[in-house]
Each structure stands twice: as structure tokens, then as C-alpha cells.
Structure 1
Amino acid sequence: MSSRVEIDSSDVIKLVLQFCKENGLQRTVQILQEESNVSLNTVDSIEQFLSDVNHGRWDIVLQLASTMSLRQSTIFDLYEEVVLELLELRESEVAAQMLRETAPLQKMREQQNDRFKRLERLAAKTSIPDPRELYEGMPKDKRRGAIAQALVEEVDEAPPSRLLSLIGQAVKWQTGTGMMPKTAKYDLFRGAAPDEAQLAEENVTTITTKITMQGKQHAEAVVFSPDGQFLVTGSSDGFVEVWDAVSGTLRKDLSFQQEGKFMMHSKAVLALAFSRDSELLASGDQDANIKIWRVSTGECVRRFTNVHDQAITTVCFSRETTNVLSGSFDQTLRVHGLRSGKTMKEFRGHASIVQCAVYSADGNRVISGSNDGTVKVWDSKTCECLNTMTPPPPPHINESTSTPAVSAVFLVPKSHDLIYVVTKSSTLYQMTIQGQVVKTMSTGKREGGDFIAGIVSPRGEWLYVAAEDNRMYTFAASTGKLEHLMEVHEKDAIGLAHHPNLPLVASWGLDGTIKLLKP
């Protein structure tokens, strides 16, 4: 069963109508109902509404009815009853004014003239009206009861302030997942805290949660969803599992996982990537197969079989989610069309394993890193190699005999031409896509501390790198200074992933654990 919820556009309009009605914007309600052809036939309480009709609280009833779309017969009965009861109370002037000025009674004049003229005659009488003549022999309480029943058939009950209630629930959920900062003031329209720019990102320093893979299995790839809901793992036994991004518990609210029908490959899953809207997940495996999943249902919506000659190392969706990019042990990158189900493009030029690949922020370039020690910038449309750069080796490495492999390449947040390059040494670089080194960060270790993976925090204030000594090193992006280091795994570290909004890092290794780190 799908966990996806369809929302009718008319329900959204009703939320706005209710908000306008509750805030006295009657003209807005009227115009919106006319333009949208959607009416707000709701009351806070059916029981109270019935009581108002049966007790003749016509000021309340008419105000509510004015925002509803009711059958003509019901409207005529309602307004006729109000006029008759006014006459019984000897309020003939008010009754006559209603006959002259209210739209429903003027419509009665056009469509049921005899009925209208009777009301006019009764209103014009100078003598005290006889209730039997007014109500034509039917007791007043029965007339009210009949009108109440007719109204209830056309009216639904809805709790008050639904729009504000839903916004409140959304704010609570987004705050919990980190999509919204925990701040006293928040600009709901802009989607930002007023002083967000002044708030510093926190540096993660503490392991708070540990996920342990079953048996001797371990995670080969881990990724957070862009909306902050999910943490997805791809394991050495081919399982793709969805976890709560914050608590680290398996998401049993996804029916396919509750039923044990997990997303799976026949071989180890080595690469994962989400689409920008968090709807689709790409997974690449050891047999060079790629599967595209709809995360809400666990359904495989597209398969690409044997798209490389060797295992896949990296996958990435295009900005428009029309293509998926893959890199491989076979030294190539390829682009596969989600609609066609075919491989469309190939990038050739690396002399060793492609370790990582990303699209530029505008989608016009592909940037890849390889074990051959180079970073290449490609035209994403023509596959032309626009630039090849080799990060300079640390001073203790002889450039003529060894060039460190590139472990990771990722974009500098809010920059169009800056990237971070992590090399299999104790050094990482901030570089332009033209190849100029802007900043160098290093632990200074000569042996046993080569970097194998790296990530940047969402706003770019912190850089985290995993090293072969099973430690995580933290650098301040502004200064390049090493601010923190800690041992994270007992056995070889494999990779790092950062939550899109929260100060939350996932680290995974050959010890079979995924560890979540917070400040």
C-alpha cells in the first residue's frame, strides 16, 4: 500500500475559505467561492448548528448560511421562516426590509412570485398576526426542525482553524527533522529565520546513535534524503534499507519494510543517490546494475542492467531528475535516461577507477575524481572534457613517483565554480573548476592517516573527512584549521554523509555499524 497521500485542490481552497471566514473577510470569501466554484459548507459543530436553528438564533444561522452553497429550496425555506418569525415578533419593518434588500428573497420574487407576495401581504398588515395564518397550520418548532434537517443534509462538520492547525503540525514536524531551525522567530512565508544568516553551524563531536548491520554484513553506501526524513543504507548483501534520519530506527511505517519486502540487489550495493524531491532513489551494485526506486512504496520503477563493464562506484541524479549519472571501476562515466531506460552518453578519459562524480550546481558540467589522481570537468551535454586538474601532492610525497588517488569531490555550498577535492593523503583542497588551489587543509600525518572520504556541512562551515586510521577529522572551512578529531570505527571506515539540515553526520565502516554523530 502506498504511503503517498493525494490532496484535492478544492480542499486547499476550503482551508483558505475557512481562514478568511474566521477572520471576518466575508467579501474575500464570496469572491473566492465565485471564482473557484468551491463552497465552504462547513460548521464547527453540527450539534450546535442544529441547536441554533431549532432555537431560532437566526442571526448566527444566516451568517453561516451566507458562506454556503445551498439548494434553492432550502434557502427559500430558511429566509421565509425568518421573515415569518419576525412578523410574529411584530418586527414588520425589519421583515419588510429583508423582503426588499436580501438577494435570496429577491430571487424568490422572480422564481416563486406567489410565495413572495404572500409574505409581502403579511408584512403590510397593521393588525397583530395570527400564528396559524403565518405558519399555515404547521407548528413553528416543526418548521424549524424541517429546515434544520434540510440544512444538515448539505453541511459538513470541520474543526475550527484547520489551516493554522495544519501549519502548526508541519512546523513541528519540520523542526523535528531539521528542515526548520529551532528558533523563537520564523518567517513562514520566506521559509527562513530572520537572523538565520547570523546563526553559526554546529560542529558534530559526539556519537549519539549506532545502527548495527545483521550478521557479518556492513553498509557500503549511505545517503540522507534531501527532505531530511530518511537515512538509506546499501549493504554488502544487496539490501537497501530505509531508516529514520534522526533516531536511526528502521522505518516500519513504510508498508513494504513492515512486510519484509525490502528493496534489494543480488550483489553488494556500492552507490546510492536521491533525486532532489526525495521521491526517487538510485542504487548501483557490484554487477554494474542500477535500480531506480520510489521510496514511498519500495517499487522499482526502472532498471538498467550491466551498464558498465565492472562494478559501479558512484551514482547521481541530474538536476531535473531526467537522467542518472554513474561512474565505475571500468574508468568511465555514463548517463542513463529514466524515460528511455537506455544509456545515452559516455565520458572517457580517466586512466583508473572513477571514485566519485557530481553535477555542477547549474547542471551544465560533470565533475569526476579518479584513482589516477585527476579531477576532470566535462560538458554534461557534449561529454567533452573541458579541464583536467591534478591536485598537488603533500610535501612528503614525491610527485614524480606517486600521485595520490582522488577519494572524493563535492561542491562548495552556494558557489558556482569552487569544489573540494579529497585525496588519498592527509590533505584536502578547495579548488576552482579551472584547477587553481584556493585553500589547503591537512592533518600533517605522513603515514596511516590517508583520507578516504569527505563531506561538507549544508552551509559550508565545516568539513569532515574519514581517514584510514578510522578517525574523523573536522576542519573549519573559513580558516582551514583542524578543529577536532575522533575515533569513530573499530574497523576500516568507509564513508561519511551529512544530513541536509541538521548538524548530523553518518559514518559507516567495515565493523558493520553506521554511527550518527551530533554536537
Structure 2
Amino acid sequence: MAGLEIKSEDVIRLIQQFLKENNLQRTLQSLQDETSITLNATESTDMLRQDILAGRWDAVLRTTRGLTLSNRAQMLLYDQIVGELIENGDRSAARILLRQSDALMSLRDADLDRYLQLEKLLTTVEFHPRLAYGADGKTKRREAVAHTVCSEIRTVAPARLVTLLGQALRWQQEHEYLSATPDTGYDLFQGEIPTLQHTEDVVPGHGYATLQFPPKQFAEAVAFAPNGQLLATGSSDGFIEIWNPMTGKLRKDLQYQAQDKMMGMDAAILCLAFSRDSDLLVSGAQDGKIKVWKVATGACVRRFPSAHAQGVTCVAMTKDASQVLSGGFDGMVRLHGMKSGKLLKEYRGHTSFVNAVLFSTDYTRIFSGSSDGSVKIWETKSGDCITTVSPTNSLSITSLHAIPGTGLILVGSQSKKVVAMDARGRTVWDVTLSKELNIPNQTPGEPVGYALSPHGQYVYVVSDHGTLVAISTKSKQAVAMVRTVEKAIGLCAHPGANVVAVWTESGQVALWRA
């Protein structure tokens, strides 16, 4: 197969067939004229043969249009058509064909006697079958025409171009080179699965899909994959599911989900994180265990059964997916090796739950946020704590996010103060929300989730009332407020599109877009 050569002429004929089947006749003719290559093929000569034998000449001419037949075949075909037109009384059409068609002009040059016979037949009042069809008669003459014409035409299955492309895609799917499905779609021209991508950050304002969990169950953790094609949810009953963020539907193209064999853990899923290439998914559970999954197969490729003494609250992976970083209710930050399955480094110092962990862009430092109100910056290799800061007045730190293109880190907390700090822990700017999170006639809203727009132009904060506030990182002001869903408990944003997911304690994950 490696040495199999595809002829350019065959590629052109595939295109010609596609043009013909889609009735793009002018384009087809232009391509044939420019390349001097003709299709000369039809889906089935059986139908053409039947049309000739039945005298359905309009269908025959449609089929043979664009085909290259020899002069002999064309002369025989048009000779028969003219004779039958005269027999049926359509002498005007017969006259046009006899005197204007290229085939019968060739007959005049090649066999003048036969041409004059047709002229005589055209002008004679009484029709003479023997003069028109010869001694064998009309039926035998049709059979001879059918044999001659069909012998010069190749039979090709319909839609060969589309069929071959489909076969190529199926082969790539079967060999795991391609993960596209009817649900995801596929951009054949660019060779990639279409994703939600926007070049400009716009605040989401319209709900377009809702994931609904069974009664008494709800999502504890939600994460978009870096490639933007997957949305993972981890629920209070320990199940992990993969969704299509474009449609909000469960990815049934993943065989294990189609068979209801979900990824899962023995306790509630508290955190999720994808690898940078979106191939792996890390999950942390309330029982202190961590598992790493291969998303394509649903297989668990690594277990850390004693990752933490209590629940695992946050996880992250290194760029090469060789290490897993975690934080837990035990106040520890830990680094685990994917290859060895062992603890590589422990970072001690927090006096309460660790709620957020983040690698620096070069992975030489680790940031951790805790319920003790502090953010600690650690040296990854040595495990030394470089500095400790309390940017939000000692209230619980709930999230840490890198702000794209700035080198700054967004610090989310239980306070209404949104802070951006640099890699040394120094506050660069902050915004205090006052009434933005509140709803009239209700108790004041409290922030429960933080996220960033794809290009970092907005910081999104969602309250427990479901109010989404957008803060401009340029003006440092709240610029938009959107009511999403009530009883919100978390928020995350799509990496490349103006889409956010808000999940609630009532079992919903609401997808909103601009």
C-alpha cells in the first residue's frame, strides 16, 4: 500500500462525477475542456441499455451527455433516434438533429449514402421502416445500438468521491487517528473537528443547553477540555460523564458511554482537570483518591489510592502529563508521578483546606490557595515556600486562574474582592463588588465561582443566586450582569469560545453563550 500510486486523471474523474451528480454542468464542461479528460462513466449501463431498448431517447441523451463515445457509436445512436422521431411524426426535431448534430454531420462525411437515406425518409410522406431500420427491424437495431454504446462506457458506483472520503474517515476512526462523530461533526477541508471559537471576547448572555442530573444528584465538578471539544462533569454519586459542549448532549460516540459503562469513583467527585492535549482526565474524590483516565476509552491509566488523607479538592497536570498536582481537605499540596504512581513532593504550610492549585507558565513554581485565606507560592523542585500572601483580607481562597497574556493570576475568594496578583504574590489590581451580585428582595449574593474569558478580557464571577458579573480587566469595572440559574455552586469557561458553564445544587449544568 505504501507504493500505491493515485493517478491524477482518476482524481479529476472523481471530481467530474461529483459535478455531474450535483448538476453542475457548466463547471463539468469547463473541467473537461481544460484537462481533456472525460468522465465516460455512468452508475449503471443496465439502465442506459433499458432506456435504449425502450426508446426513451430523452433519458438516453441525458445519460450520454458529457460522455465520450466513438464516432461510430454516436452515428449509430443518432441515426436510430432520427429514424424513430420520423416514425413518431416529430419531423421538426428529426430535421434539427439531422442537419445540426455533430454526430450526423460526421455520418454525412463518412457514409453519404446513409445520410441521404435519412434525408429521403424525412421528406417522404409515408414512413418506410426498412429504409429507417434496415432488414433487421427496429428492435434488433435498438439492440445493436445498446451493445455498441454500452460497451464504450465504464460502470462506476454513484458518489465515489464522497464514498472514498467516508471510508478514509472511518479508517482513521478505527485506528484512533480521528475522534470525530456525527455528534461532533468534522471539517473535512481543514481536517479537524469543528469547535466553538471566537476571536473576540463577548459576555455570554443566552442559555442554549442544560445538562440535567437525576434527582438528588448534582455536579460537584465541571471542566472544559483545552481543545474545546469536551465537557466533563463529576457528580455527587461518583460518576464522570463526557459531553459535547456545542450541543449539550452526552458523547455517545465514546463506546463506554454508549454502553452505560461510565468512568467513576467510590465517592463524590470534587475536582476534574484535563491534560493539555485533552487526552487524559484527572479526577479527585471525597475519599482522598485520585484517578487518571484516558478519555477516548474510559480506561483508568493511573490510580493514586492514598493521594490525601481527606477529600481531594483540586487537581492539575504538568504540560507533558507526567505529573499530577493536587490539594485537599487535609491542608496538603502534593505532586504525584504518573509513571511511578508515587508521591514525588509534598508542600506543607497551609492551616486549612487547600481549594486551588496552579502551575506557573514554566512549571517551576506552584501556587496554592486555602481556606486559611492565604496564597502560597512554592518552588516546584525543592518544595520550599517562597512567599505567603493574603490578598483578600484572610477570607477563604476558592480559585486561582492564570490571566492570558498578562503573567497575572486571578485570585477568587469568598469575599467580594476580585484580585489580580503577579508571580511574586503582589497585588496588581483589585475590584470590589458591592451590589452587582445581589438580587432585589433577596439576601445578598455570595461569590461561588470564578472564570476568565478566552482572551482574558473579562473576569466572570457567579453568585449563589445565579448572577453572572463580568469585570473588564482593562477598565477594572463591572461591565455586565446576567441572570443565569438559581442555586449556583460553580462556574467554568470554555477555553476558546464565549461560553460558560454554571452548575447548581439542584442538578443542572447550564451552558450559556454570547
2:412 corresponds, among 422, 428, 432, to 422
Residue matched to 1:311: 311
Q: What is the alpha-carbon distance in structure 2 between the residues aligned to residue 15 and residue 461 of structure 1?
A: 51
CA contact (8 A) 1:45 1:158 kept: no
The alpha-carbon deviation at position 305 of structure 1 amounts to: 0.3
The alpha-carbon deviation at position 297 of structure 1 amounts to: 1.1
Q: What is the alpha-carbon distance in structure 2 between the residues aligned to residue 459 and residue 500 of structure 1?
A: 9
Secondary structure of the residue aligned to 1:216 is: coil
Which one is further off, 330-339 or 202-211? 202-211
Name the amino acid aligned to 1:485. M
1:475 corresponds, among 465, 471, 476, to 471
The alpha-carbon deviation at position 471 of structure 1 amounts to: 2.2
Secondary structure of the residue aligned to 2:249 is: coil
Query: Larger Rg: 1 or 2?
Result: 2
Match status 1:409 vs 2:400: yes
Residue matched to 1:169: 188
Which one is further off, 267-276 or 493-502? 493-502
The alpha-carbon deviation at position 511 of structure 1 amounts to: 1.3
Q: What is the alpha-carbon distance in structure 2 between the residues aligned to residue 295 and residue 368 of structure 1?
A: 27
Q: What is the alpha-carbon distance in structure 2 between the residues aligned to residue 496 and residue 208 of structure 1?
A: 16
Q: What is the alpha-carbon distance in structure 2 between the residues aligned to residue 162 and residue 211 of structure 1?
A: 34
Say how many residue pairs are matched.
370
Q: 1:317 to 1:44 in 2, by over 3 A?
A: farther
Secondary structure of the residue aligned to 2:234 is: strand
Q: What is the alpha-carbon distance in structure 1 between the residues aligned to residue 315 and residue 270 of structure 2?
A: 9
Q: What is the alpha-carbon distance in structure 1 between the residues aligned to residue 225 and residue 9 of structure 2?
A: 34
User: How high is the TM-score relative to the length of structure 2?
Assistant: 0.64
1:501 corresponds, among 484, 496, 505, to 496
Q: 1:223 to 1:392 in 2, by over 3 A?
A: closer
Secondary structure of the residue aligned to 1:169 is: coil
The alpha-carbon deviation at position 389 of structure 1 amounts to: 1.2
Partner deviation per Cα, 1:253-293 (whole Å, 9 max, x = no partner)? 11111111011111100010101111111111001111111
Q: What is the alpha-carbon distance in structure 2 between the residues aligned to residue 160 and residue 344 of structure 1?
A: 52
Residue matched to 1:236: 236
Residues 206-217 of structure 1: pairs in structure 2 closer than 5 A? 206-217=206-217
Q: 1:168 to 1:222 in 2, by over 3 A?
A: closer
Name the Cα RMSD after superposition: 3.9
The alpha-carbon deviation at position 422 of structure 1 amounts to: 1.2
Secondary structure of the residue aligned to 1:356 is: strand
CA contact (8 A) 2:392 2:415 kept: no
Name the amino acid aligned to 1:316. A
Residue matched to 1:280: 280
Q: What is the alpha-carbon distance in structure 2 between the residues aligned to residue 44 and residue 363 of structure 1?
A: 59
Q: What is the alpha-carbon distance in structure 2 between the residues aligned to residue 405 and residue 10 of structure 1?
A: 64
Match status 1:432 vs 2:427: no
Match status 1:254 vs 2:250: no
1:449 corresponds, among 441, 445, 448, to 445
CA contact (8 A) 1:412 1:420 kept: yes
Residues 2-13 of structure 1: pairs in structure 2 closer than 5 A? none
CA contact (8 A) 1:317 1:324 kept: yes
Q: What is the alpha-carbon distance in structure 1 between the residues aligned to residue 425 and residue 297 of structure 2?
A: 43
The alpha-carbon deviation at position 47 of structure 1 amounts to: 8.0
Secondary structure of the residue aligned to 1:352 is: coil
The alpha-carbon deviation at position 346 of structure 1 amounts to: 0.8
Q: What is the alpha-carbon distance in structure 1 between the residues aligned to residue 223 and residue 430 of structure 2?
A: 27
Residue matched to 2:196: 178
CA contact (8 A) 1:425 1:449 kept: no
Partner deviation per Cα, 1:6-44 (whole Å, 9 max, x = no partner)? xx9989x97999999999xxxxxxxxxxxxxxxxxxx99
The alpha-carbon deviation at position 208 of structure 1 amounts to: 2.1
Name the amino acid aligned to 2:232. V
Q: What is the alpha-carbon distance in structure 1 between the residues aligned to residue 416 and residue 11 of structure 2?
A: 59
Q: 1:440 to 1:14 in 2, by over 3 A?
A: farther
Match status 1:322 vs 2:305: no
Residues 379-398 of structure 1: pairs in structure 2 closer than 5 A? 379-393=379-393
Secondary structure of the residue aligned to 1:489 is: coil
CA contact (8 A) 1:18 1:161 kept: no
Q: 1:47 to 1:286 in 2, by over 3 A?
A: same
Q: What is the alpha-carbon distance in structure 1 between the residues aligned to residue 313 and residue 6 of structure 2?
A: 49
Residues 107-126 of structure 1: pairs in structure 2 closer than 5 A? none
The alpha-carbon deviation at position 512 of structure 1 amounts to: 0.9
Q: 1:355 to 1:15 in 2, by over 3 A?
A: farther
Residues 34-183 of structure 1: pairs in structure 2 closer than 5 A? 169=188, 171=190, 174-175=193-194, 177-179=195-197, 181=198
Q: What is the alpha-carbon distance in structure 1 between the residues aligned to residue 289 and residue 314 of structure 2?
A: 12
The alpha-carbon deviation at position 329 of structure 1 amounts to: 0.4
Q: What is the alpha-carbon distance in structure 2 between the residues aligned to residue 222 and residue 302 of structure 1?
A: 21
Name the amino acid aligned to 1:435. G
Q: What is the alpha-carbon distance in structure 2 between the residues aligned to residue 421 and residue 391 of structure 1?
A: 8
CA contact (8 A) 1:205 1:484 kept: no
Residues 314-393 of structure 1: pairs in structure 2 closer than 5 A? 314-393=314-393
Q: 1:160 to 1:293 in 2, by over 3 A?
A: closer
CA contact (8 A) 1:374 1:391 kept: yes
Match status 1:517 vs 2:512: yes
Residue matched to 2:459: 463
Name the amino acid aligned to 1:419. I
Q: What is the alpha-carbon distance in structure 1 between the residues aligned to residue 196 and residue 461 of structure 2?
A: 22
Partner deviation per Cα, 1:311-343 (whole Å, 9 max, x = no partner)? 000011111110111100000111111111111
